[in-house]
């Protein structure tokens, strides 16, 4: 189809595009390589297979915004297929062949349909962006720190990309339409044929000119766009699958630090080059959809934090300094000058909602924790209230800073003996009580209820007693990795010694302890079978070891972030509640989509950052709105936060807040009363 001069021009254009585009992509690769090492290459075939499946099915995209995701799917699947379509268009342009009939009919039909779907998808997305309030320039909290180029850069980049897609696909449609008018109508290209019928009255020379012009429009636009592609947010088309492949096995679980290299490398992250390479890959994979911002409890309650803004800010800074950064030069500005600020980083509850919702596998929360580590361990700059928790963990093994001699106070007055492992080394279950149930008066009732369940079920169990210390969860999430490592090493040594007599199942009523014990202590030599008490109670009920008498009433359940979202324990608490006979009424946000109570990420130990309301207030309003008379929880910190809210209500107007173990004990005691047995 192309003339000889056109062919020469095409070859030169391809060479130039590949040179400049390749150089741009190579600089991005070099920039990502600047990140510190982190092993994400284990089990590589499975990783790549999972990422390919998630990408092609778009299951991560369809987690939220189904209609917008459908429009995105039209564009995505169309462009995946266009890799073949554009290649065939080039073949037809360079060589005197017409790919019609037989095998090519199916290829052309699919291409024709997808051309129309891409145009529908991109036009729909453009309309949404231009008409939906706040979407034209994105909706940011005025307090959210933004890179100086973000507000103008995002609309400009979106306009460039949308123009390219529309022009490229529209040009191909017109090119095919001209072919249809020139050669003959093709029933396997009905959309191009319909457009081509509008050109039927033109003479052959005009139709040929249109065919050539729009072939160049379709293929030439790719060659022009390719060098810009590496700077565009749409580089995620290539990097998002890699990001999904290299995502952590347990998103949100933190990795230990090498303190021996602290003198030369520092601790935590102050500049872009201090991040590990997966964090830099996050910045380039971000599609700037703001889904993470939408689900962030801090942002939803008017705080300065936007997890999306942090990654977007990093991306714009990288684009600004890419030529020098890729060559190994230091970044000119610390992250606190362009990516975030103190108010933002200390508003994070580490609830993992941003990671859970991200369609491209970004781990925004880990950026925040890395920065906290540097602020705490290198700069000594953190909310002063955390000092009390840090001091208590270091001196007395608990953030309440109460003596270890009081750790068994929760068990006083129980009608049965609570044995330690020293008394019962052959126990089947080790109940890891945790600091809150040991020292907090309200949480002590949960510990007593679960102990009653263990006793009632005939389980052989024991506790560590004074040997138990804080897991260090709050210290780690607050950035005090050194203190966490100290607690981890001490606890792992204690637990490993406890397992020598007999391997035991560790059961805990605290999701934060659960998460740390099962996911993070293995990096310190401690690999254990750990269960949340909801899982264990569900097993006891299933084995008929417990038979709570059915009760009446309505209950709603609040999923703790570190139980449901972080660790996928969602059904077991509901099974336990339903076994009590209570009617379960779900809040709108539940399961992995649950909304945080506001206590995580060491927030419980400090004043909440300023906003329009407390995170707990937002969540409590939703739970109360179910109309249930009881709010069931599975975490002592969730319990505390909900009780802060109920205390603000007029007497008798607030639902009661109970741990699921307390609901079960109520059923057990009701059964005992029915049979005339004594009850505590």
pLDDT score for 100: 86
**pLDDT interval class at 137 (50, 70, 90):** very low
For 521, phi and psi rounded to 5 degrees? -75, -20
| 231 SS3 class | coil
**pLDDT interval class at 271 (50, 70, 90):** very high
Can you tell me the distance from the alpha carbon of 522 to that of 452, in angstroms, rounded to the nearest whole number? 30
What is the largest distance, in Å, between two alpha-carbon atoms of the chain?
Answer: 101
Contact 373, 257 (CB under 8 A): yes
Rounded average pLDDT over 302-327? 96
Low-confidence winner among 51-60, 95-104, 601-610 (lowest mean pLDDT) = 95-104
Can you tell me the distance from the alpha carbon of 299 to that of 144, in angstroms, rounded to the nearest whole number? 9
Contact 345, 371 (CB under 8 A): yes
pLDDT score for 671: 62
Can you tell me the distance from the alpha carbon of 58 to that of 80, in angstroms, rounded to the nearest whole number? 12
- What are 342-365's pLDDT values in tens digits? 999 999 999 999 999 999 999 999
pTM: 0.92
Can you tell me the distance from the alpha carbon of 294 to that of 277, in angstroms, rounded to the nearest whole number? 26
Closest residue by Cα to residue 494 from 422, 570, 565: 422
- What are 378-434's pLDDT values in tens digits? 999 999 999 999 999 999 999 999 999 999 999 999 999 999 999 999 999 999 999
pLDDT score for 549: 82
- Cβ partners under 8 Å of residue 225, min gap 6: 164, 168
Contact 541, 576 (CB under 8 A): yes
Query: Whose structure tokens read 């059964």?
Result: 671
Q: Where would I find the H helices in 95-203?
A: 103-131, 150-182, 190-196
Query: Is the pLDDT at 219 greater than 90, yes or no?
Result: yes
Highest mean pLDDT among 97-106, 458-467, 663-672 belongs to 458-467
Closest residue by Cα to residue 530 from 638, 637, 429, 462: 429
Q: Determine how many CB atoms are found less than 10 A away from the CB of residue 202.
A: 15
Q: Determine how many CB atoms are found less than 10 A away from the CB of residue 585.
A: 16
**pLDDT interval class at 679 (50, 70, 90):** very low
Query: Is the pLDDT at 73 greater than 60, yes or no?
Result: yes
Q: Determine how many CB atoms are found less than 10 A away from the CB of residue 265.
A: 12
**Local structure of residue 565 (DSSP, 8 states):** I
pLDDT score for 672: 65
Rounded average pLDDT over 297-311? 97
Rounded average pLDDT over 126-136? 68
Can you tell me the distance from the alpha carbon of 624 to that of 642, in angstroms, rounded to the nearest whole number? 10
Contact 466, 408 (CB under 8 A): yes
pLDDT score for 138: 66
Query: Is the pLDDT at 653 greater than 90, yes or no?
Result: no
pLDDT score for 492: 98
Q: At what angle do helices 386-396 and 481-501 cross, to 10 degrees?
A: 30
Contact 370, 269 (CB under 8 A): yes
What is the token pair recorded at 251?
A: 């998103």
**pLDDT interval class at 135 (50, 70, 90):** very low
Highest mean pLDDT among 133-137, 195-199, 416-420, 669-673 belongs to 416-420
pLDDT score for 497: 95
Mean pLDDT of the chain: 93
pLDDT score for 101: 85
* DSSP-assigned beta bridge partners for residue 583: 554
Q: What is the side-by-side strand order in the sheet with 429-432?
A: 461-462, 429-432, 505-508, 529-532
Rounded average pLDDT over 525-545? 96
For 593, phi and psi rounded to 5 degrees? -100, 15
What is the token pair recorded at 429?
A: 């279950």
Contact 407, 438 (CB under 8 A): yes
pLDDT score for 401: 95
**pLDDT interval class at 680 (50, 70, 90):** very low
């Amino acid at each position: 189809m192309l003339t000889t001069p056109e062919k020469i021009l095409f070859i030169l254009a391809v060479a130039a595009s590949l040179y400049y585009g390749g150089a741009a992509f190579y600089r991005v690769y070099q920039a990502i390589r600047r990140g510190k090492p982190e092993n994400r290459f284990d089990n590589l075939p499975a990783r790549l297979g999972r990422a390919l499946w998630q990408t092609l099915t778009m299951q991560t995209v369809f987690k939220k915004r189904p209609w917008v995701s459908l429009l995105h799917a039209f564009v995505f699947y169309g462009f995946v297929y266009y890799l073949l379509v554009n290649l065939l268009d080039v073949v037809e342009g360079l060589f005197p062949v017409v790919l019609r009939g037989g095998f090519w009919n199916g290829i052309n039909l699919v291409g024709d349909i997808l051309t129309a779907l891409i145009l529908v998808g991109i036009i729909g997305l453009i309309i949404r962006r231009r008409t939906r309030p706040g979407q034209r320039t994105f909706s940011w909290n005025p307090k959210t720190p933004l890179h100086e180029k973000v507000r103008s850069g995002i609309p400009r980049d979106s306009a460039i990309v949308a123009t390219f897609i529309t022009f490229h696909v529209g040009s191909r449609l017109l090119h095919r339409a001209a072919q249809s008018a020139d050669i003959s109508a093709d029933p396997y290209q009905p959309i191009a044929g319909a457009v081509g019928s509008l050109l039927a009255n033109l003479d052959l020379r005009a139709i040929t000119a249109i065919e050539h012009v729009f072939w160049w429009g379709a293929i030439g636009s790719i060659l022009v766009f390719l060098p810009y592609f590496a700077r565009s947010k749409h580089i995620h088309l290539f990097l998002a699958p890699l990001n999904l492949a290299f995502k952590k096995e347990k998103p949100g679980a933190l990795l230990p630090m090498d303190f021996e290299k602290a003198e030369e490398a520092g601790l935590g992250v102050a500049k872009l080059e201090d991040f590990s390479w997966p964090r830099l890959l996050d910045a380039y994979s971000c599609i700037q959809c703001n889904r993470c911002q939408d689900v962030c409890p801090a942002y939803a309650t008017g705080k300065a934090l936007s997890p999306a803004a942090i990654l977007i800010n990093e991306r714009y800074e990288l684009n600004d300094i890419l030529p020098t950064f890729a060559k190994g030069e230091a970044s000119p500005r610390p992250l606190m000058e362009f990516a975030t600020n103190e108010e933002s980083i200390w508003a994070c509850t580490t609830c993992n909602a941003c990671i859970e919702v991200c369609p491209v596998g970004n781990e925004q929360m880990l950026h925040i924790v890395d920065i906290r580590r540097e602020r705490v361990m290198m700069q000594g700059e953190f909310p002063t209230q955390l000092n009390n928790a840090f001091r208590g963990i270091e001196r007395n093994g608990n953030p309440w800073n109460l003596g270890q001699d009081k750790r068994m106070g929760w068990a006083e007055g129980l009608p049965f003996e609570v044995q330690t492992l020293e008394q019962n080394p052959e126990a089947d279950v080790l109940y890891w009580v945790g600091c809150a149930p040991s020292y907090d008066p309200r949480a002590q009732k949960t510990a007593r209820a679960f102990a009653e369940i263990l006793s009632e079920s005939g389980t052989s169990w024991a506790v560590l007693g004074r040997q138990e210390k804080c897991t260090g969860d709050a210290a780690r999430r607050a950035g005090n990795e050194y203190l966490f490592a100290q607690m981890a090493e001490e606890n792992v040594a204690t637990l490993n010694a406890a397992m020598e007599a007999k391997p035991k199942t560790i059961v805990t009523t605290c999701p934060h302890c659960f998460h740390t014990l099962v996911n993070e202590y293995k990096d310190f030599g401690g690999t254990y079978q750990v269960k949340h008490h909801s899982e264990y109670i569900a097993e006891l009920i299933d084995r008929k070891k417990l038979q709570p008498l059915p009760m009446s009433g309505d209950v709603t359940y609040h999923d703790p972030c570190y139980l449901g979202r972080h660790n996928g324990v969602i059904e077991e608490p509901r099974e336990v509640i339903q076994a009590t006979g209570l009617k379960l009424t779900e809040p709108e946000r539940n399961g992995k989509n649950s909304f945080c109570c506001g206590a995580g990420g060491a927030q419980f130990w400090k004043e909440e950052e300023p906003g329009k309301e407390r995170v707990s207030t937002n969540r409590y309003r939703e739970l109360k709105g179910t109309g249930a008379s009881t709010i069931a929880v599975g975490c002592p910190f969730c319990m505390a936060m909900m009780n802060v809210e109920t205390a603000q209500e007029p007497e008798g107007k607030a639902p009661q807040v109970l741990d699921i173990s307390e609901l079960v004990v109520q059923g057990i005691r009701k059964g005992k009363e029915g049979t005339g047995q004594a009850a505590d």
